[in-house]
Amino acid sequence: TFQLVYNLPASALIWMAYIIPAYCMSGLYLQGDETLAIYIYTGFMVLHLLANQMFLTALGYALKHRHVAAILAGLFLSGLALVSGLPLHLLDVGVWCQWLGTVSPARWILPVLLQREYSPLALSSSTSSLTCKNKHFGVQHQDIIVQGSCLPPNGTAVLQYVHFLPDPRQPEYMAPVAVAVFWFLCYLVLCYLVASGSFLVSRYQPVQPRNNPNKP
C-alpha cells in the first residue's frame, strides 16, 4: 500500500506527459482567455487515470492468475466506459447497469469538464471566426452580399440533451473528492484482503522453507 502511495507522484508526472500534448492537439486551449483551463483539465484527467491505475494494480495483486485479472479488468473498465455517457446515451443504458455510473470516474468528471467546454465564453470564442453562408445582412454596394458571423450554439441545451448538465447545488470540488475517496478506499480494502489471506483467489501464499526448524 505504501509503495503505491510513494509511486503516485511519479505516475502523475507520466500521465501528465500524455495529457498535456493531448490537450494542446484537441484545441481546448481556445476556450476564451481563461488561463486556468489547462490546469483544471490536467488535474481532472490525472485523477481519472490514477483512479484506474490504482484499481488495476489492486486487482492484479488480488487475483492469482494474471490473465484472469486482465479479463476482469477489461470487462469492468468497459462497463465503466459504457455508463459514462460518451459511447451510449444515458437513457439507453439498461437499468441493470446504471448503478455502475456511481463508481465510474468518467461519469463524475465529464459533467464538470463539459460545463466549461460548453460555456458561453468558450462557445463564442470558438465560433467567432466562423461565417454562416446562410446568414446574409443584405445587398450593399452593387450586389455585394455581406455575410455575418455564426451565432454561438446554446451549450446549456446541449448538456441538458445528453444529461451532462451538472447539479447547481453540487460544488465543483465534489466530483474529484468523491472519485479519489471512493477508489482509494476500494484499493485499501483489496490490499487488506490480500494481506490477510482471506481472499479466495489471492496470490498471497506464504511458503515454508524446506529447512524449517519447526518442522517435526
Q: What are the residue boundaries of the structural domains of the chain, listed by start? A: 2-113+167-196
pLDDT in tens, 73-116: 888 888 888 887 777 777 777 777 777 777 777 777 777 777 77
Query: What's the chain look like in SS3?
Result: CHHHHHHHHHHHHHHHHHHHHHHHHHCHHHCCCCCCHHHHHHHHHHHHHHHHHHHHHHHHHHCCCHHHHHHHHHHHHHHHHHCCCCCCCHHHCCHHHHHHHHCCHHHHHHHHHHHHHCCHHHHHHHCCCCEEEEEEEEEECCCEEEEEECCCCCHHHHHHHCCCCCCCCCCCCHHHHHHHHHHHHHHHHHHHHHHHCCCCCCCCCCCCCCCCCCCC
pLDDT in tens, 135-173: 544 445 555 555 555 665 666 666 766 667 666 666 666
